[in-house]
């Protein structure tokens, strides 16, 4: 317990800037380490020089085609999962929420699985992420229909749960009907979540969606602060709750849906990171957004470095590792909550 | 800003909880809204604060509807203190109070010196300075109530609608609260409070509105509204009266035998 910094050490107003700076530095270090670590030995300096001067050396190729997209996608995915987790916990005023509760994760995964199943993924390389994004978009459309009409938060969660289990069932159906065991294996491995072999095309495809999603969530920061005191008080402070819900749900869906479309499902980042950082921002949900984004990026990059450093073959899937770290942490959290209650 | 409710009806689950209520509220008075549990006081409050659209009738603010004023502008002019408010995250007291400044912030504008000064004033007004730096969950119920009251004060609005702000307070803080609210009304603020303590209500309020069964049973000076007949009809109690320091002390005294929870027809 003593390893967890207390609120007093960070929550002073100057501390917030310091916390963000520290987290940003952590992300930079992890990003650099992620670039430096890999299976093929690489002279990083030569690789960067070659890449910058446009020389198509082997080093530059490894750097531009393997290392850079992997590190970039890790940072983008972690940031998205972290900030969306913080946004959902703030909206639902529940520390056990993450973007999974609105059904986008499952829908995006199913969209990608359909691409596998139809064989389109073999035809062109961006079929998978496009399928994932379309799946997420379908989930968002369904949710937005509800959220946009100002329905209660509980309705949103229930709709999300329904969408998630439907997508899960359809994914299982696709596996069930898969023509051969290899196809099923391929899908299952993809679903476990990984950053391996993602290209700059993947990054370019989803980056705009991610940025829009982050923007929607960050813009709702003051509303999340107001929601600390409940929906009536937030409304009396001038926030249109229907609009706030729609912005947060669509924002989280864009960020996480697009992330899952490229990486598969990476669990527990969105759940655990806001928890660790909450005491460091004095519990304020608005401030938790950006902090959780940075923390999520650092965690995802760190876990992906771990995956490669362990060197187990076949490579451990990132989603497996985050769940292996996250689940025990989550249990310890519940243990602590139980003791506090 | 004058608040006028015209023939206001609000239904919850089909039954009218506020039933054809009309009233006019002007700034500069301390108005006590009293009535038994389930009388519709909170529902009326939510309609007046623009949190629940009425099923029939309307609420006008200086003759305009909320939709014309805009929620943002309206939030600066009227502060609403919920009955069962609580902080869901382990915020510090002063950060909770600072939430009252949100209506004054444009998009992305950081807190200003003037916000900090308003938070200080609000903490002082609610006598919550002593624990401003402590997390909400470490405070007692009464201390939390004072912090939440300070949050409503921090809006520094023209109107304050407070739903049972005295309920969790000790006697000294109840008196302090009522004195402050009366002083605020004297300075020109419009203050409406839901109260269950008839002694405080009759002593401090300029005007009482007595509700039962969604209707207004009486509206006027405390002595005119809280008659023996009205107390019997609304609460099913008798009242005891005494003169203390040339003021009238009113207290509920005995339960009347045949009374069914404030829904008696008048």
Residue from the list A226, A233, A284 with its beta carbon closest to the beta carbon of B82 = A233
CA distance A237 to B50: 11
Is the alpha carbon torsion for B146, B148, B153, B158 positive or negative? Answer: negative
- Model confidence, pTM: 0.89
Q: What is the mean pLDDT of each run of 10 residues along chain B (266 residues)?
A: 95 91 96 95 95 94 94 95 86 94 73 85 93 92 93 96 92 94 94 96 96 95 94 94 91 81 50
Whether residue B71 and residue A238 make contact (CB cut-off 8 A), yes or no, is yes
| Contacting residues of B for A226, CB less than 8 Å apart | 99, 102
- Our CA angle for A217, A113, A203, nearest 5°, is 45
Whether residue A230 and residue B85 make contact (CB cut-off 8 A), yes or no, is yes
Q: Is the separation of the CB atoms in A228 and B99 below 8 Å?
A: yes
- Parse chain A into domains and list their residue ranges: 74-340
B102 to chain A, any CB pair closer than 8 A? The answer is yes
CA distance B36 to A25: 59
Structure tokens, B233: 């009809």
Q: Is the separation of the CB atoms in B167 and B179 below 8 Å?
A: no
CA distance B146 to A144: 39
| Contacting residues of B for A238, CB less than 8 Å apart | 71-76, 102-103
- What secondary structure does DSSP assign to chain B, as a single string? --EEEEEEEEEETTEEEEEEEEEEE-TT-EEEEE--TTSSHHHHHHHHTTSS--SEEEEEETTB-HHHH-HHHHHHHEEEE-TT---SS--BHHHHHHGGGGGG--TTPPPPHHHHHHHHHHHHHTT-GGGTTSBGGGS-HHHHHHHHHHHHHHT--SEEEEESTTTT--HHHHHHHHHHHHHHHHTT-EEEEE---HHHHHHH-SEEEEEETTEEEEEESHHHHS-HHHHHHHTSEEEEEEEETTEEEEEEEEE-SS--TT----
Q: Which residue of A has its CA nearest to B155?
A: A237
**What's the confidence (pLDDT) of residue B110?**
62
> A326-331: long-range contacts (C-beta < 8 A, 24 or more apart)?
A326/A267, A326/A268, A326/A269, A326/A271, A326/A272, A327/A268, A329/A268, A329/A272, A330/A268, A330/A271, A330/A272
Chain B interface test: which of A97, A236, A244, A282 (most B C-beta within 10 Å): A236
**What's the confidence (pLDDT) of residue A211?**
96
Contacts of B156 (CB under 8 A, 6+ apart): B100, B118, B121, B122
Helix (H), strand (E) at residue A182:
helix A181-191
Whether residue B78 and residue A236 make contact (CB cut-off 8 A), yes or no, is yes
B170 to chain A, any CB pair closer than 8 A? The answer is no
Q: For chain A, report the end-to-end CA distance as a whole number of angstroms.
A: 17
As assigned by CATH, the class of the A74-340 domain is mainly alpha
B77 to chain A, any CB pair closer than 8 A? The answer is no
**What's the confidence (pLDDT) of residue A142?**
84
Beta strand B3-12 with B56-61: parallel, antiparallel or unpaired?
antiparallel
Whether residue A278 and residue B74 make contact (CB cut-off 8 A), yes or no, is no
CA distance B114 to B122: 12
**What's the confidence (pLDDT) of residue A4?**
39
Is the alpha carbon torsion for A119, A125, A127, A132 positive or negative? Answer: positive
Kindly list the residues of chain A whose beta carbon comes within 8 Å of any beta carbon in chain B: 7, 11, 93, 219, 222, 225-230, 232-233, 235-240, 278-279, 282-285
Tell me the pLDDT of chain A (341 aa) as tens digits: 333 343 443 344 568 999 999 999 999 999 999 998 887 777 778 888 888 887 878 888 888 888 999 999 999 999 999 999 999 999 988 888 888 888 888 999 999 888 888 888 778 878 888 898 899 889 888 877 766 566 677 788 888 888 888 999 999 998 888 888 888 888 888 888 888 888 899 999 899 999 999 999 999 999 999 999 999 999 999 999 888 988 998 899 889 989 998 999 898 899 999 999 999 999 999 999 999 999 999 999 999 999 988 878 788 899 999 988 888 887 887 787 777 65
**What's the confidence (pLDDT) of residue B111?**
65
CA distance A48 to chain B (A): 38
């Amino acid at each position: 317990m003593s390893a967890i910094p207390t609120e007093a050490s960070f929550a002073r107003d100057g501390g917030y800037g310091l916390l963000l700076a520290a987290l940003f530095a952590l992300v930079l270090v992890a990003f650099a380490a992620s670039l430096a670590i890999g299976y093929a030995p690489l002279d990083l300096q030569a690789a960067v020089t070659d890449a910058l001067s446009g020389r198509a050396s082997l080093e530059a190729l490894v750097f531009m085609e393997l290392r850079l997209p992997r590190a970039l996608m890790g940072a983008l995915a972690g940031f998205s999962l972290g900030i969306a987790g913080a946004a959902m916990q703030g909206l639902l005023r529940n520390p056990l929420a993450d973007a999974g509760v609105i059904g986008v994760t499952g829908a995006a995964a199913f969209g990608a699985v359909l691409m596998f199943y139809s064989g389109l993924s073999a035809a062109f390389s961006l079929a998978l992420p496009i399928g994932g994004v379309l799946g997420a978009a379908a989930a968002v459309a369904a949710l937005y229909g509800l959220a946009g009409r100002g329905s209660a938060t509980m309705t949103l969660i229930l709709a999300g749960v329904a969408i998630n289990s439907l997508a899960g069932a359809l994914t299982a159906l696709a596996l069930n009907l898969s023509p051969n065991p290899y196809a099923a294996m391929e899908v299952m491995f993809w679903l476990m979540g990984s950053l391996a072999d993602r290209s700059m095309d993947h990054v370019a495809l989803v980056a705009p969606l991610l940025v829009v999603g982050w923007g929607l969530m960050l813009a709702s920061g003051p509303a999340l602060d107001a929601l600390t005191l409940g929906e009536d008080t937030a409304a009396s402070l001038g926030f249109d709750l229907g609009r706030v819900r729609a912005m947060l749900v669509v924002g989280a869906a864009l960020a996480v849906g697009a992330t899952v479309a490229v990486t598969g499902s990476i669990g527990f980042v969105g759940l655990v990171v806001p928890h660790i950082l909450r005491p460091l921002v004095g519990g304020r949900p608005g401030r938790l957004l950006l902090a959780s984004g940075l923390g999520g990026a650092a965690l995802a990059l760190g876990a992906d470095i771990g995956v490669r450093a362990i060197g187990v073959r076949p490579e451990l899937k990132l989603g497996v590792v985050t769940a292996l770290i996250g689940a025990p942490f989550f249990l310890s959290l519940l243990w602590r909550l139980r003791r506090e209650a | 800003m004058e608040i006028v409710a015209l023939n206001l009806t609000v239904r919850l689950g089909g039954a009218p909880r506020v039933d054809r209520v009309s009233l006019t509220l002007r700034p500069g008075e301390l108005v006590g809204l009293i009535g038994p549990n389930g009388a519709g006081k909170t529902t009326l409050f939510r309609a007046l604060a623009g949190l629940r659209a009425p099923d029939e009738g309307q609420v006008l603010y200086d003759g305009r509807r909320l939709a014309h004023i805009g929620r943002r502008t309206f939030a600066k002019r009227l502060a609403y203190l919920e009955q069962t408010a609580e902080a869901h995250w382990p915020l510090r007291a002063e950060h909770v109070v600072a939430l009252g400044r949100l209506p004054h912030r444009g998009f992305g504008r950081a807190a200003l010196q003037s916000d900090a000064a308003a938070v200080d004033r609000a903490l002082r007004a609610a006598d919550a300075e002593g624990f401003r730096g402590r997390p909400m969950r470490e405070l007692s119920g009464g201390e939390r109530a004072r912090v939440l009251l300070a949050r409503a004060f921090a809006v520094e609005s023209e109107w304050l609608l407070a739903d049972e702000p005295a309920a969790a307070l000790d006697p000294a803080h109840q008196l302090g609260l009522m004195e402050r609210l009366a002083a605020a009304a004297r300075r020109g603020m419009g203050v409406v409070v839901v109260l269950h303590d008839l002694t405080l209500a009759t002593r401090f309020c300029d005007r009482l509105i007595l509700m039962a069964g969604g209707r207004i049973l009486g509206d006027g000076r405390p002595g005119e509204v809280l008659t023996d007949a009205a107390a019997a009809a609304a609460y099913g109690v008798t009242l005891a009266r005494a003169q203390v320091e040339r003021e009238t002390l009113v207290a509920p005294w005995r339960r009347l035998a045949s009374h069914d929870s404030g829904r008696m027809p008048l």
